[in-house]
Amino acid sequence: MNKEIQQFLNNFFPDLSQPPKPDLEFMDEDELYEWLHQRLLLFIVTKDIQFGAVAIQQWCQRGYCKSGIPLIHQFLTIMAGQQLKKNPKMVDEIINLMQDDEEKSKLIYQLQQTQQQQVNLQVSDSPKVLKAQSDKKDPSIFQNILTALRCWDKKQK
């Protein structure tokens, strides 16, 4: 692990094995709120420290190193994007961790766009579709689909 990331983790979470207990009598509401969100971030980071370290390094470079909801939302967005291809079930769990409904809807929209781009890339790389696109008799999408189906049907027989 990068020394800079390790140092940041040690400063932000001094001992990952024993999270500090809050002194509830001396905390005001804002301090308690910040502490709870740090615990949520700690939970997420310790689930997969690699993703956490990469995300924290990116936050440091971009100047997002403030605690609270914006930091957590940024972390969740990065994690969801990384997990979209590998583990779609985890993406659902990540979306459920979002606190703000507006941020949640933005993330869902971003993920849908990313997923659609991935599907479009996979489809456009298919040799059948490429052959259909090169057939210029009728440029409509339906003609391309029909041509691709005909090519597939000929190969099946």
Report the distance separating Cα 32 and Cα 22, nearest Å: 8
| Residue 155 banded pLDDT, cuts 50, 70, 90 | low
What mean pLDDT is predicted for residues 72-99? 73
Select from 37, 3, 4 the least CA-distant residue to 22: 37
Q: Is the pLDDT of residue 142 over 70?
A: no
CA distances from 150 to 60, 110, 129 (A): 53, 35, 11
Contacts of 154 (CB under 8 A, 6+ apart): none
Contacts of 10 (CB under 8 A, 6+ apart): none
Q: Is the pLDDT of residue 71 over 80?
A: no
Return mean pLDDT, the chain: 63
Select from 98, 10, 88 the least CA-distant residue to 49: 10
The DSSP code sequence of 53-94 is HHHHHHHHHHT----SHHHHHHHHHHHHHHHHHH-HHHHHHH
Q: What pTM did the predictor assign?
A: 0.36
What mean pLDDT is predicted for residues 122-143? 52
Report H helices in 14-64: 29-47, 49-62
